[in-house]
Amino acid sequence: MRMPFGKYQGHLLIQLPEHYLVWYRQKGFPPGKLGEQLQLILELKVNGLEGLIYPLIKK
């Protein structure tokens, strides 16, 4: 999924910088599926697991 709005509009969620995701956690994630996915991406990044996602991305 791509970020639908904001500074990083059009970027894949996995490509969002960690500091941006932490800011969202402090502000409050958006409701719905996007918010759930942003939370998941943050957990992956914090735990150093984002490398698991890159092979799944179609080039």
Instruction: Tell the residue number behind the tokens 């894949």, with chain if given.
Output: 12
pLDDT tens-digit readout, 1-59: 899 999 999 999 999 999 999 999 999 999 999 999 999 999 999 999 999 998 988 76
Cβ-based burial of 31 (10 A; exposed 0-12, middle 13-18, buried ≥19): exposed
The answer to whether the CB of 30 falls within 8 A of the CB of 20 is no
Question: Which contiguous run of DSSP H or E holds residue 40?
Answer: helix 33-46
Q: Which amino acid is at 13?
A: L
pLDDT value of residue 59: 65
Q: In this structure, how many other beta carbons lie within 10 angstroms of the beta carbon of residue 21?
A: 20
Domain assignments of the chain as residue spans, ordered by start: 13-56
pLDDT of 7: 93
